[in-house]
Copies of this chain bind each other. A is one copy, B any other.
Amino acid sequence: MPYVKPLPSFLTQRYHGWKATTYKENAAWYRKLATEGQHPRAMLITCCDSRVNVASMFGVDAGEFFIHRNVANLVPAFSPSGDHHGTSAAIEYAVTALKVSHLIVLGHSQCGGVKGCLDMCEGRAPELEEQTSFVGRWMDILRPGVERVKAKHPKELDEDEMAEALEKMSVNVALENLMTFPFINEAVDNDTLTLHGLWTDIGSGRLECLESKSR
Contacts and interface: CB of A to CB of B under 8 A. Distances in A.
Given A20-B17, A213-B2, A30 B205 contact: yes
Contact of A213 (B3, B13, B102): B3
A124 interface: no
Residue among A20, A68, A69, A85 having the largest count of chain B Cβ atoms under 10 Å? A85
Given A68-B70, A99-B32, A213-B4, A92 B134 contact: yes
Contacts of A109: 34
A14 B14 contact: yes
Interface in A160-215: 175, 179, 187-188, 191-198, 201-205, 207, 209-215
A200 to B, nearest CB: 9
Contacts of A36: 39
A89 interface: yes
A77 interface: no
Nearest to A94: B48
Given A3-B215, A50-B40, A196-B4, A9 B25 contact: yes
A120 interface: no
Q: Copy number of this protein in the oligomer?
A: 4
Main secondary structure of the interface of A (DSSP, over half): mixed
B38 A49 contact: yes
Contacts of A20: 17, 20-21, 24
Interface string A26-40: 111111111111111
> Which residue among A8, A133, A193, A209 has the maximum number of chain B CB atoms within 10 Å of its CB?
A8
Contacts of A198: 7
Interface in A36-69: 36-43, 48-53, 55-69
Contact of A69 (B25, B69, B204): B69
Contacts of A92: 133-135
A153 interface: no
Given A83-B83, A89-B137, A23 B203 contact: no
6 contacts: A1-B215, A19-B205, A34-B204, A40-B50, A81-B131, A91-B134
